[in-house]
Amino acid sequence: MMSARYLLSTGQKWRQVLKSFNQNHNARCISSSSKCCNSYAQGVHTRELGGKQLLLDPHTNKGLGFTLEERQILGMHGLLPPIVLDQDRQLSRIKKAYSQIQTDLERYSFLTDLQERNEKLFFRMLQDDIELVMPIVYTPTVGLACMQYGNIFRRPRGMFITIHDRGYIADILQNWPAKDVRAVVVTDGQRILGLGDLGSYGMGIPCGKLALYTACGGIHPHQCLPVCIDVGTDNEKLLSDPFYIGLTHRRVTGIEYDELIDEFMEAVSDTFGRQVLIQFEDFGNHNAFRFLRKYRNQFCTFNDDIQGTASVAVGGLLTAEKIVNKKLTDMKFLFAGAGEAALGIANLVTRHMWESGKPKNETYKNIFLFNKDGLLVKNQPQPLESPEQSNYAHDHNYIEDFNEAVKTIKPDAIIGVAGAGRLFTKDVLESMAEINERPIIFALSNPTDKAECTAEEAYTHTKGQCIFASGSPFDQVTLEDGRTFTPGQGNNVYIFPGVALGVISCGVRHIPDQIFLIAAKTLANEMTPEEVSQGRVYPNLKRIQDVSINIAVKIAEYVYAHGMAGHQPEPVDKYDFIRSQMYSTDYESLLPSRYDWPEDVMKPQGKGCKGGLKKE
């Protein structure tokens, strides 16, 4: 066994060699227009950090998990307490500290600090306790965190690009330390959840989203880039707040805004490659659809508020049709809301109906939209807000009251995506129960206080008849007769990690709507009979990573079959292929790799090598 003194002296010499190599390597790179010359040199860069820097870097820090050998050779011996704790024991300590925190916002800050300190331990905690932690990292607590973002801001996460950076976005992206970026989530902060315009405070959304990319989809964290595009805000409260950390002027719109987004899309693709996935998040309704139309065939992009929400909702509806024993093609749907989420769901439902053989012109007749003014009809008092709504504006009487619309249309399902609070009143829920033996009630708006109804209200006022799903998590509900129901959470996390994993792994350049229908069908097929009997329409969140893998596999099968995959050759075993791409939370050794040569190659060869001079 090597002595500590030997290890320390060896470590000192090794670090000196690395330092000398690194200085020479940097000089070569600076004098050259090329990027870092090879992966070996990049590995040397990482190991050359050593000591304190390795402890401060969340990508490399293992806290008390560094072995004695690592501590001595990497120059951190004495910088840590003497105890060595494996990851399991570290996780137990973290969970104990977490359990003692009193408020959700404090829990959010605690987890953010953990992510910025020890990345692998953070994602291990997410994966181990996804049901407990996801509501803190993302919906609904992330909404509260966004509103308080300036007050809880500690360290920069992601990139802030402003309207005043036009012409220089490509240069700014070069400042991001990771070069192998595969997924970008971008927001302009205009429509954060159901909270409205939060400007630069919207950065909490891309950060939370990408945390779930890794925890649920296995996308490597260093391949993820959160971006907030700051063009100002129309939020009067933020504009008058002396501690607001974003641009303190009103939103810039029009040509300047469009040119900024154009430049951003080109700069991201030029910097990180044409196959980089760019997800739009929480843009205003008027921009969300037009950007999707504009960019979907130029870049690898999708809008989660439109397509992700649609996919998870249709996945729940496909499970519900098994329970009510009635096909989606024969159902009527009434939406509370007529924005991007409602239209996204409606469009994907119609696509499913077309594929099931229903004539295209007949599918629209089954879907009705109800916005803040009333039912969308052809001769309504107010003009339509977007051209996408015209397919669902029927030749029907104008109705201003939602409950009256329920009684008149007699829908099989009501789907709430308005973000306007308690639209599914006691009267509405009772009307749905009178019309249907098993009414489908999807209250999908986030955060919790924006939900159209609670799980308890839905089950109570329908006397346990309803099939319920919500956007925010709700606890089990037990009725007076003793029946207990487990509400399903229709969270987009069931969709976007799996879609991203499949798209990135296969090198897809463009994402068609068919991929989101494939994801919805796969999600429905993941349901077990036991889960359905519990009243669920979505799988247990504990199985979310398996769900994401299976969605990615189905996407891989589709894109390779249709010539859409950029990564060749086609893998024979797509499941193993997808698994091999995924991030591991296991601690890895930071020590340099060592290997041996065959003994015979180090021995001198030839007749004259056995000692002495050969006499003539």
Torsion of CA 133, 136, 137, 140, to 10 degrees: 130
For residue 226, say if its preceding peptide bond is cis, omega within 30 degrees of 0: no
Residue type at position 275 = Q
Spatial separation of the C-alpha atoms in residues 54 and 588, rounded to whole Å: 13
The Cβ-side half-sphere exposure at 612, using a 13 Å CA radius, reads 3
Query: What beta strand segments (E) does 53-133 contain?
Result: none
Spatial separation of the C-alpha atoms in residues 105 and 143, rounded to whole Å: 10
Catalytic residue among 62, 209, 358, 574: 209
Catalytic annotation on 138?
yes
Spatial separation of the C-alpha atoms in residues 452 and 388, rounded to whole Å: 23
Point out which residues pair with 375 in neighbouring strands: 370
Joined tokens for residue 442:
């999807």
**Could you give the C-alpha distances from 110 to 55, 101, 385, 388, 605, in angstroms and in order?**
18, 9, 42, 42, 64
Torsion of CA 349, 211, 110, 242, to 10 degrees: -80
Catalytic residue among 108, 138, 558, 583: 138
Spatial separation of the C-alpha atoms in residues 394 and 405, rounded to whole Å: 13
Closest CA to 51 of 68, 23, 72, 37: 72
DSSP assignment of 350-398: HHHHHHTT--HHHHGGGEEEE-SS-B-BTT-SSPPSSGGGGGG-BSS--
Closest CA to 514 of 359, 318, 310: 310
Active centre residues (catalytic)? 138, 209
